[in-house]
Structure 1
């Protein structure tokens, strides 16, 4: 859903007066197909988003924080080198088409930044004073040094027939821009929810298969142990007849004094063992039966409950009624009316606690064992950074990283601080936090949800820094 020419005309007419005369103080590239220009105007700082995404090409101001990659892409680095510090001379729509020209006076002289918001052909280009292409987002090197050509007039006039789809936000100074931002933010939230739902469904399907196998294995163990139901009786009968049994016998016939009719019963023996050894075997197998009855029965019942819960949640996803798990109830150990520690970041509703590092990287924190398991083995990718307070119960923490990227030092310390905060080390206010790539974290076999084994981990010592926690709080979501 890209902006139409009519919508671009409306937002340009609204923004041009505020941006003209300002200067570009920072450039960001939050996604591979969009840039943000931080423009300082008298008394105000505006952040202008230019998106060349094929299905969402647009421009508008952004008021909500965007996450940036740890290392700026090449196009962003070029813009920082050549456009930061440039004054904006004009912002205008070209020939009524879906193309916006931003005229600039840079330290190298006049240049133009062209936002061609033309759907699947969308692009961002830098032109010199003679309108020759210097650089573009699409890396179209064959265009470099060539004059930039605007689309023909008929194509431009055709785009003006669309009506604007956005209702201006009356409370905002930039009402059209705010309406566009709100619409796309809602769409991106919907897309993010759909991705989360898909990841959760995938996780549930795997968990259901695993739980079914586990329950079937328990039933098999129980059935196997059931063969030993009467072995205590056989052991007692052998005990009463030890003196009559010789090594090498394969059976022994004795009177069954457990039966009022006192019938004779034939008991199989291991010919390689003594009478005492056979008796011990029967008692040992009876203990297996007793243990299985005592432990496997409740385990199967609990497993069936968990299996049913997983199936119900998957059904709710399939029927479109699923909602992410809500935040758990406050700890019962906190007395009613006792305030939350002032330095602890707030945890809003939704799946996982969410923060943004000082470098703009997303940080996810599990709230409980189930969320820890879902975060680590559902949402996290193999190259993401995984953290946990060393040697103590606590939350799993994941930092989203691009493939091949290393975590910046400040982002590592931000995430480690959160891992310490949401662990049993919080009271001491300091401790070691281990970290590694998500791919080196494995589920602990036979353990409860959230239990893991970790390899190739490193350690960082952190303390709960009040200033850092306050900054993280302002960037929580």
Structure 2
């Protein structure tokens, strides 16, 4: 279901129970249009995510790790100025709409109490996060500025008077004394049509929620009880991720037996639902420039490889030119200047006659030399073209490795990949004259095998090189998918069990271009048998004495081992 008014109501209750009375301990903005307020309450820190993302606008307590950008946004600085150490006094929903108000109390420069309102409006591409001075009703700042030119009804700029979103003229289902659903059921007995009109009539209903209510009303004669029970479920939700015809979905209502997973809280469910989906979109958005560069270079090199292979095939006729030159030299006495062709017996092929084209401007000897020169040119080309084919194939393998790493990357991993492409000359270095602030080195992913052994996974070439060549001990075990771009995996043990090696191989298969394959070959060998050739590109190593395991990537096992740490 969408993050509609009913789901918002259930989430507001969950947040209020956990957070009201706590104080803001930290304010972060890991991504554009998103803020995390770490609220300290009852001796525990709760990272409260407030997202005005156009596609994934929501609020929840998140457990997904995040990192701050080097330079905070202006809105982040404003929030830090006003909300650090502020006490959260209430969390409320406006009517049954997707507007959540977080009330804070802090003190101004004079020590007087200052009530502030942080309003999150979950409205698709119009989503916003607005900080308001409750005493004056003036906006202090917003995560997205909206001028009069953009919206004549509401100006969302600093110092503008805060106005609520325009009313849609719908009924709040929790205040429906007219029992409009009875008339709707009478007029629209069809399930789909009934759901459509529930959305039109009641505030806060998405199509998915309306369909659930329509089914409940059709299943019972006690319509009033069914309607009230449906609304009461927002106070005692059932967080569930479902498998539908359109893919995964989530709900706070009781689900059928088709559910995929249930969770203790709505926040845990939303984390699980958005963890991969939102991360992939962020990577695709933030890494769009890198993806474009890789695609262009791959396309150019693949075309180059086709051309080189055609040239190599053409050199297969080199011996024909040599033979024709030798025949002309042998039978010079039969050739006269001015001839355009001659038929000679080929003593290399049982005296079979062969027709040889001649230039009437050249002497017989010069014609023979012309064929020898063509032969020598093609012979030299074989060596050059073969070397170029080898280099081009290595370039394609390298670019495909980067492409696979971007597909598997977290947003924070993109900095390493961008730096690698800059150093490799694929990207123009920005601000050459201005020295960039030193970026913290990203760390490999860590997993814990079933027997407690730690497994490390490099997610880009810099991590792979550091992990394999500098961090890992020589007697640890190294794994990599055979002949396919993928991550370096290190089992941090000199004598891992067969079960641990198998789990590490599954991880290696998952973090590779073969993650969708059913039977993946994974090589494993001790780190001491790994070496990097001089001048090799980042992430490239060679090894010998390896053994091979055949495994199938298993996402559920990956998640289990990742969260075992």
Same structural fold, with TM-score higher than 0.5 when normalized by the shorter chain: yes
- Give the SS at the match of 2:97: coil
Counting only pairs closer than 5 Å after superposition, residues 333-344 of structure 1 correspond to structure 2 as none
Q: Which residue of 2 aligns with 1:421?
A: 466
Q: Which residue of 392, 396, 410 corresponds with 2:439?
A: 410
1:283 to 353, 372, 376: 372
Shift of 1:420: 4.7
How much does 1:281 deviate? 4.0
Kindly report which structure 2 residues correspond to 1:155-304, keeping only aligned pairs within 5 A, or say none: 155=170, 157=172, 158-161=202-205, 163=209, 166-167=251-252, 172=264, 175-188=265-278, 191=281, 207=298, 211=302, 214-216=305-307, 218-219=309-310, 222-223=313-314, 226=317, 229-235=320-326, 237-238=328-329, 240=330, 249-250=337-338, 256=345, 258=347, 268=358, 275=365, 279-288=368-377
Distance change in 2, residues 1:425/1:202 (3 Å):
closer
1:349-395 per-position Cα deviation (integer Å, ceiling 9, x unaligned): x7677467xxxx33477xxxxxxxxxxxxxx7xxx4336999xxxxx
- 1:61 CA drift (Å): 0.8
| Matched length | 361
The Cα shift of 1:87 comes to: 1.6
Show structure 2 runs of 5+ residues with no match: 109-113, 148-154, 173-201, 210-233, 235-249, 254-260, 444-459, 475-535, 539-561
Q: What per-residue deviation string (whole Å, max 9, x for no partner) do you get for residues 73-118 of structure 1? A: 2211211222122121222223333222211122322212111223
Change (3 A) 1:261 1:138: closer
Structure 1, unaligned runs of 5 or more:
314-323, 326-349, 366-379, 391-395, 430-449, 453-473
The within-5 A match list for 1:51-450 is 51-108=51-108, 109-128=114-133, 129-140=135-146, 142=155, 143-151=157-165, 152=167, 154-155=169-170, 157=172, 158-161=202-205, 163=209, 166-167=251-252, 172=264, 175-188=265-278, 191=281, 207=298, 211=302, 214-216=305-307, 218-219=309-310, 222-223=313-314, 226=317, 229-235=320-326, 237-238=328-329, 240=330, 249-250=337-338, 256=345, 258=347, 268=358, 275=365, 279-288=368-377, 354=409, 361-363=412-414, 384-386=418-420, 408-411=437-440, 418=463, 420-421=465-466
Cα separation, 1, equivalents of 2:92 and 2:386 = 74
Do 1:234 and 1:282's aligned partners in 2 also have CA atoms closer than 8 Å?
Answer: yes
1:117-144 CA-to-partner distances (Å, cap 9, x unmatched) read 2334322111112332221122246554
Task: Return the offset for 1:52.
Answer: 1.8
Relative to structure 1, the CA distance from residue 256 to residue 70 in structure 2 (aligned partners, 3 Å threshold; closer, same or farther) is same
- 1:14-25 pair list within 5 angstroms: 14-25=14-25
Inter-CA distance 397–102: structure 2 relative to 1 (3 Å threshold): farther
Tell me how far apart the structure 2 counterparts of residues 184 and 422 of structure 1 sit (CA, whole Å): 29
Report 1:22-61 matches (<5 A).
22-61=22-61
Q: Secondary structure at the match of 1:411?
A: coil
Aligned 8 A contact 1:116 1:123 in 2: yes
Bigger mean CA offset, 218-227 vs 128-137: 218-227
Give the TM-score normalised by structure 1: 0.57
Shift of 1:36: 1.0
- Seen in structure 2, the aligned counterparts of structure 1 residues 160 and 236 have a Cα distance that, compared at 3 Å, is closer
Q: Secondary structure at the match of 1:110?
A: strand
| Higher relative contact order, chain-length normalized (CA < 8 Å, sep 6+) | 1
Distance in 2, matches of 1:193 and 1:4, equals 26
Distance 2:462 2:342 in 1: 72
**TM-score between the two structures when normalised by the length of structure 2:** 0.49
Answer yes or no: is the 8 Å Cα contact 2:279–2:410 preserved in 1: no
Contact 2:64/2:271 (8 A) holds in 1: no
State whether residues 338 and 359 of structure 2, in contact with CA within 8 Å, keep that contact through their aligned partners in structure 1.
Answer: yes
